[in-house]
Amino acid sequence: MSALNPPYTDRRALPISFYPLLSAEDDVDSAAIDRFTDSLKQSEPPDRSTLLYIHVPFCESICRFCGFYRRLTTDFAPLSRAELLDRFTSALTREIACWRTVIDPGVHAIESIYIGGGTPSLLSCANIEAMIGTLRRQFDLRADCEITFEGEVRSIGDPEKLSVLRDLGVTRVSFGVQTFHESVRKLNGLQPTLDQIRRCADRVRNAGFQVNVDLMYGLPSQDFEIFMNDLSIAVHELRVSHIDLYDTILYPNIDLFTRREVFSGMLPPEEEGVRMLMRAIEFFRSEGFVQLTADDFVRPGAEYRMKDLIYGSRSGHSQVLAMGPAAVGYLGYTSYRNEVLEHYLPSDWQRPTIQRLRTSDDHEKANRALIFYPKRLMLNVPDHCIEPSPEGKAILERQIACGLAQRQPDGIVRATELGKLWVDSMSAEFLSPSEKRRIFKLVQ
Ligand SMILES: C[S@@+](CC[C@H](N)C(=O)[O-])C[C@H]1O[C@@H](n2cnc3c(N)ncnc32)[C@H](O)[C@@H]1O
Ligand code: SF4
């Protein structure tokens, strides 16, 4: 079967990073939060490997495609930006202390920390020191714990901030570029100039960090040639160690969707998305990069754990302790989402600021590793893990029979070159009909 003779009729990019999926019907009261945290105190997690994620949801400007929870700092006037970020930092340090009473660091092995956004680099040096310092004091991090700090070009290249990040043990710095093409950048509301991007990459690299940039494909007006040029500039001129490559997801709240009468005619056709991804994978291979998961590529030696932990790791159940407004985590067998900023900032709460909770039923527990295997590009569930459902196993066998995945002599199932182009469609097959309805409500 060829990639251009597609195995699925629908190739929509889906936000399958969290499972079980949360929606408004999972809103909870404080008694449910207490039951959840009590259960965490009393039981061993299904997997000790843990990612600690912190969401810093502030931005200076909003990009037209961005579907993440983010707010303009100016939305909170009359609070000044500095006051807002100070308030956020004290709410966060309180949340960290709150979780410390629930999570035993002797049980949860925190292998990776990701401080993402939004724009964490808007925080002042004092804010950053308070945040990472509190994490280190409360969680007694392992010496080899990787720490990624995400930022935006205009604020992450500040030499003083980079030096503070280095001193605090941050190992990797990530920022969004999306595309280098000036008119595509303008159309998508991307404000940093190419000079600012280049200067930022130089400073971050020279300060001794691994450098990750985010690139996107499927943006309005971004054709194949523009995209291939984007890859080449990132690798050859910015000399990044790592690229996160995102297919554009059309969330209902983004400009690309709400103003679709303007943008939809400019979106590349579906086959173009397949071609872009296929050539990108070939390009990275020829440059000696390793494909770690469906959407990240690294130079050898720059491997990291964060994405694998998000996608459940080997057991399908690695843990995500998420903090910050609207952050989504997975503890025990339960997904949770935090309150949004308006509820989060007052910080007079006595328990984690959770808005939604959903505990997996047996079907969801059993199928989690299968749902994430296309993203991880492999399924190597250890024997002691939960047996997938018979329906899940049958879908897996069908995917193998179609050439989307291959079982190797050691029993590991790996996505094939064809499968790598269809990961979201492969994952979606394992969702129950009601979960499919939920996820397709999140995208257009
Ligand atoms: C949450 S953002 C934070 C990045 C940082 N604020 C910046 O702009 O430099 C992380 C990445 O998600 C990706 N992203 C945002 N919206 C997306 C969408 N609708 N579909 C696919 N990827 C998206 C972009 O590549 C972005 O850089
Ligand atoms: S891509 Fe980054 S800067 Fe742009 S709106 Fe999203 S979080 Fe903010």
- Judge if the beta carbon of residue 68 lies within 6 A of ligand 1: yes
Q: Is 303 within the bounds of a domain?
A: yes
CA of 5 to the centre of ligand 2 (A): 35
pLDDT in tens, the chain (444 residues): 555 566 888 878 888 888 999 989 999 999 999 999 999 999 999 999 999 999 999 999 999 999 999 999 999 999 999 999 999 999 999 999 999 999 998 899 999 999 999 999 999 999 999 999 999 999 978 888 999 999 999 999 899 999 999 999 999 999 999 999 999 999 999 999 999 999 999 999 999 999 999 999 999 999 999 999 999 999 999 999 999 999 998 888 888 888 888 888 888 888 888 999 999 999 999 999 999 999 999 999 999 999 999 999 999 999 999 999 999 999 999 999 999 999 999 867 788 999 999 999 998 999 999 999 999 999 998 877 888 889 999 999 999 999 999 999 999 999 999 999 999 999 999 998 888 888 887 776
Task: Say if 342 falls within a structural domain.
Answer: no
Last residue of a domain, one of 295, 310, 325: 310
* Residue of 59, 185, 214, 253 best suited for mutating to test ligand 2, as the one with most atoms within 8 Å of CB: 59
- Taking the centre of ligand 2 as the mean of its atom positions, its distance from the CA of residue 250, in whole angstroms, is 15
pLDDT of residue 3: 56
Q: Whose CA is closest to atom 6 on ligand 2?
A: 66
In a domain, 357, yes or no: no
Q: For the domain that residue 96 is a member of, what is the CATH number?
A: 3.80.30.20
Q: Do 77 and 5 reside in the same domain of the chain?
A: no
Do 279 and 409 share a domain, yes or no? no
Last residue of a domain, one of 241, 276, 310: 310
**Spatial contact of 374 and 424, defined as CB atoms under 8 Å apart:** yes
Q: Which residue has the tokens 């910050």?
A: 324
Do both 248 and 296 map to the same domain?
A: yes
Burial letters for 12-44: b for 16+ Cβ neighbours within 10 Å, e otherwise?
bbbebebbbbbeeebeeeeeebeebbeebeeee
Domain match, 12 and 123 both: no
Last residue within a domain, chosen from 268, 283, 310: 310
Q: Which two tokens stand for residue 281?
A: 């994978």
Give the ligand with the smallest distance to the CA of 15: 1
Are 134 and 48 in the same domain? yes
Do 10 and 61 fall into the same domain? no
228 and 114 in a common domain? yes
Q: Is 54 inside a domain boundary? A: yes
Cα(28)–Cα(12) distance, integer angstroms: 31
Q: Do 83 and 3 share a structural domain?
A: no
Helix axes 159-167, 194-206, angle to 10 degrees: 30
Residue 347, in any domain of the structure: no
Number of structural domains in the chain:
2
- Give the distance (Å) from ligand 2 centre to CA of residue 240: 20
Please indicate, yes or no, whether residues 8 and 105 belong to a single structural domain of this protein: no
Q: Which domain holds residue 420?
A: 1-18+362-444
Is residue 217 situated within a structural domain?
yes
Report yes or no on 161 lying in a domain: yes
71 occurs within a structural domain: yes
pLDDT at residue number 157: 87
Cβ-count burial 303-313 (b if 16+ within 10 Å, e if not): ebbbbbbbbbb
Q: Are 152 and 194 members of one domain?
A: yes
268 and 369 share one domain: no
